[in-house]
Amino acid sequence: MVLLAGGVGGAKLAHGLQTHLAYRLTVIVNTGDDLERHGLLVCPDHDTVMYTLAGIDSRELGWGIEGETFAAAEMLARYGEETWFRLGDRDLASHIVRTRGLAAGLRLTEVLLGMQQAMGLPVRILPMTDDPVRTEVRTDDGWLDFQTYFVRLHQAPDVRELRYRGIDDARVTPEVLDALGRAGVIVIGPSNPFLSIAPILGVPGMREAVSAARARGTPVAAVSGIVGGRAIKGPADRILGSLGHEVSAMGVARYYADLVDLFVVDSVDAALEPEIRSLGLEVLVTDTIMADDAARARVAASVLESMASR
């Protein structure tokens, strides 16, 4: 099985799927959020998924490592460095290892797989590409890099337009193509459709590889991250509205309609089922809120059972 994911929502579903699938799961993760801080490459979505699957993520913060400290960030601030994007002391190790590996000539995929192996993960987490892609948002004050919008400005400005710098020159990796080529099931996680999933699907060759898998009989599902007209976490609902989409699970279903066979909505949105079916999609209505480990495993089981019945 292949899961397309980014951020907390995708990490939670990956955690649930890992419970049932272990090494049979591959996660293709967004790298459009990546950035350079203090000379180090930081990969927020990859690390959120990795820490979650390793069971060391901070449930309280929703990012980073449980019990993290920030002594290094405090010292950097003393030296006059900007620290609005704080790197935790334990988290720093990931960025150091990753940056050193790239400097030694390894591909990003190779470096990340080595980190995952060291963490003892049975699941492979593949970056969407080895090439640098950076998400940028246009607000009323002009273009901003993603982390300035997301972290420094707390997602406050309205998003008028999105672009993914470098994506036209990016390439799908052999590992991603192999995973999609062998996938029996493909799932798009409850991640932000524009900030997390669009960069993945925008890598030249990615959408074609998913469509090819679907054409040979591999079912593709998407899980809505919008429940009752609101994002479970993050600015997805506001971005849907500001970019002209309906702010609902239906709006997300329309966005994915040409790529998926099954759309998963929360029970709160059960009334939308007939309208979503009118798009030519099958619909699974279930409780999609993943508040704890048991809920993550339950949601994953519901998706797997529904896909197995196809």
CATH T-level assignment (fold) for domain 2-134+167-308: Rossmann fold (3.40.50)
Confidence (pLDDT) at 63: 79
SS3 226: strand
The CA distance from 163 to 110, in Å, is: 27
Q: Residue 186 contacts by C-beta under 8 Å, 6 or more apart in sequence?
A: 1, 2, 3, 4, 180, 210, 213, 214, 218, 219, 220, 221
What mean pLDDT value characterizes the chain? 94
Please identify which residue in the block is written with the tokens 């935790």: 88
For residue 59 the two structure tokens come to 């449930």
Confidence (pLDDT) at 239: 86
- CA separation, residue 221 to residues 3, 156, 208, 258 (Å): 10, 31, 16, 11
Amino acid found at 134: R
The CA distance from 237 to 159, in Å, is: 11
Q: What is the band of 12 on the pLDDT scale with cuts at 50, 70, 90?
A: very high
Q: Give kind and range of the element (H or E) at residue 37.
A: strand 35-37
Q: What is the band of 57 on the pLDDT scale with cuts at 50, 70, 90?
A: very high
pTM of the entire predicted model:
0.95
Q: What is the band of 309 on the pLDDT scale with cuts at 50, 70, 90?
A: confident
Helices marked H in the chain: 7-21, 44-54, 71-78, 89-103, 108-118, 146-147, 174-182, 198-202, 206-215, 236-242, 249-256, 273-277, 293-308
Q: In the chain, what are the domain boundaries?
A: 2-134+167-308
Could you tell me whether strands 134-139 and 142-145 are parallel, antiparallel, or unpaired per DSSP bridges? antiparallel
For residues 246-271, average pLDDT? 94
Strand partners, 135: 164
For residue 244 the two structure tokens come to 């002209």
Confidence (pLDDT) at 246: 85
The CA distance from 219 to 197, in Å, is: 18
For the cut 90, the answer to whether the pLDDT of residue 238 exceeds it is no
For residue 209 the two structure tokens come to 């590889």
For residues 269-288, average pLDDT? 96
